[in-house]
């Protein structure tokens, strides 16, 4: 049930789903659903169970169907919650796996053998689960192998943070050059200034084409094995490679934000006596930055996952740490699962921050 809301302008009490006040037509605060978090948790739980039980015919299909039905029926309540979206993705994955497993069982086994097959599969699963504590100790406790994960996580954050800062700085410069060229190319007369701006615009266009048109892992390997072949600082090389790559995407995000600002804002700045630089600095950039802030946060999340390819140059980041453990224990499941779970937790955390940021930005616009 939706919690009652009050119009900030006239004080009218509203209990329905209206977006504007029925009395004064002012915008109302977003509806508050007290139990939305619980429903999101149920969606996540059923989605996870649909994957875990996908090997049992029809069980995963039923659980996935329940999760998807809850999500569909409560989309109005929880569509903006990260846990509900993740639960939906898990349910879709579990549904696909269950359909494949069910078709496999029906085609290859007779109906009478299905219970025996399910019992045998369950026995194997229980046997595997009973060995998890020993496998965990062998992969993480013995010889303090967990330190590979801890050290790798630290390097991952180090590379990500400095690469993001470099990417933002580079992206702002490129975006300003391209936006300035689009705005001033018809106003500027021929001369050194226009020629320089044209050259810089073409140079930025070439940079964007090359960086966005080639894989980041290839750029990383070129940076380490070709450009900085004499350097032994792998972290610095990774920061430069990922920062330059991220800068290309940040530039287009910021340029799109600048382009979204109404041209009347430029004219307002000119009417106040501001030149082009001061208009961009004090009027356009602050508004554009507020618009693109969620997109920049999402780019940071993407950058975290992209750093997983740093192992190609021998950098011991998070993924490489898990791979080192695998090479010591000859057990791939536990270390790689741990790496995947850590990445998932990081992404869920920052995704939730982005969601909160977007909601606050929307509320500040009202």
**What is the CA angle 47-52-57, rounded to 5?**
95
Residue 284, helix vs strand vs coil? helix
Domain boundaries, the chain: 36-130, 143-365
Examine the pLDDT at 13 and tell me if it is beyond 70.
Answer: no
Query: DSSP label at 13?
Result: E
When computed from its CA atoms, the radius of gyration of the chain, rounded to whole angstroms, is: 27
pLDDT for position 307: 92
% of the chain residues with pLDDT over 90: 31
Average pLDDT over residues 345-360: 83
Examine the pLDDT at 101 and tell me if it is beyond 80.
Answer: no
At the topology level of CATH, where does 143-365 sit? MetI-like fold (1.10.3720)
Average pLDDT over residues 91-97: 85
Encode pLDDT of 242-266 as tens digits: 999 999 999 999 998 888 888 888 8
By the 8 A CB rule, do 253 and 171 touch? yes
pLDDT for position 356: 81
Report how far apart, in Å, the C-alpha atoms of 240 and of each of 153, 162, 224 are: 19, 9, 10
Quick one: pLDDT band at residue 82, thresholds 50, 70, 90? low
Encode pLDDT of 270-308 as tens digits: 788 888 778 888 888 888 888 888 888 889 999 999 999
Question: At what angle are helices 146-184 and 318-329 packed, to 10 degrees?
Answer: 150
The number of beta carbons lying within 10 Å of the beta carbon of residue 207 is 16
Encode pLDDT of 168-197 as tens digits: 999 999 999 998 888 777 777 667 777 888
**DSSP codes, 49-114:** HHHHTTTSTTHHHHHHHHHHHHHHHTHHHHTT-HHHHHHHHHHHHHHHHHHHHHHHHHHHS-GGGH
* Main-chain phi, psi angles of 29, to 5 degrees: -60, 160
Residue with tokens 């509806």: 31
Examine the pLDDT at 155 and tell me if it is beyond 70.
Answer: yes
d(CA 25, CA 16): 14
Lowest-confidence range among 49-53, 94-98, 120-124, 330-334? 120-124
């Amino acid at each position: 049930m939706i919690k009652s809301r009050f119009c900030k302008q006239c004080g009218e009490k509203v209990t329905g789903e209206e977006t504007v006040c029925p009395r004064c037509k002012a915008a109302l605060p977003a509806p508050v659903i007290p139990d939305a978090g619980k429903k999101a948790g149920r969606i996540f739980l059923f989605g996870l169970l649909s994957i875990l039980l996908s090997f049992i015919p029809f069980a995963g299909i039923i659980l996935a169907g329940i999760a998807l039905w809850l999500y569909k029926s409560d989309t109005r309540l929880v569509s903006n919650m990260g846990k509900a979206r993740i639960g939906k993705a898990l349910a879709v994955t579990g549904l696909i796996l269950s359909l494949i497993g069910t078709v496999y069982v029906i085609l290859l086994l007779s109906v009478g053998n299905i219970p025996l097959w399910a019992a045998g599969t369950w026995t194997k699963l229980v046997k595997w689960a009973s060995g998890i504590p020993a496998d965990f100790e062998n992969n993480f406790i013995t010889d303090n192998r967990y330190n590979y994960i801890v050290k790798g996580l630290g390097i991952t954050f180090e590379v990500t943070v400095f690469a993001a800062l470099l990417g933002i700085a580079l992206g702002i410069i490129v975006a300003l050059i391209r936006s300035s060229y689009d705005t001033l190319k018809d106003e500027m007369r021929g001369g050194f200034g226009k020629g320089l701006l044209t050259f810089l615009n073409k140079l930025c266009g070439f940079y964007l084409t090359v960086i966005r048109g080639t894989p980041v892992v290839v750029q990383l390997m070129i940076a380490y094995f070709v450009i900085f072949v004499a350097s032994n600082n792998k972290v610095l090389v990774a920061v430069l490679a990922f920062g330059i790559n991220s800068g290309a995407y940040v530039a287009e995000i910021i340029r799109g934000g600048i382009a979204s600002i109404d041209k009347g804002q430029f004219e307002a700045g000119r009417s106040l006596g501001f030149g082009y630089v001061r208009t961009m600095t004090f009027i356009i950039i602050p508004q554009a930055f507020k618009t693109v802030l969620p997109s920049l946060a999402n780019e940071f999340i993407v950058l975290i996952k992209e750093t997983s390819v740093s192992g190609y140059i021998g950098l011991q980041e998070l993924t490489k740490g898990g791979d080192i453990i695998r090479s010591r224990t000859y057990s791939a499941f536990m270390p790689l699962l741990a790496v995947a779970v850590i990445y998932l937790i990081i992404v869920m955390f920052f995704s939730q921050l982005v969601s909160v940021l977007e909601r606050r930005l929307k509320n500040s616009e009202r």
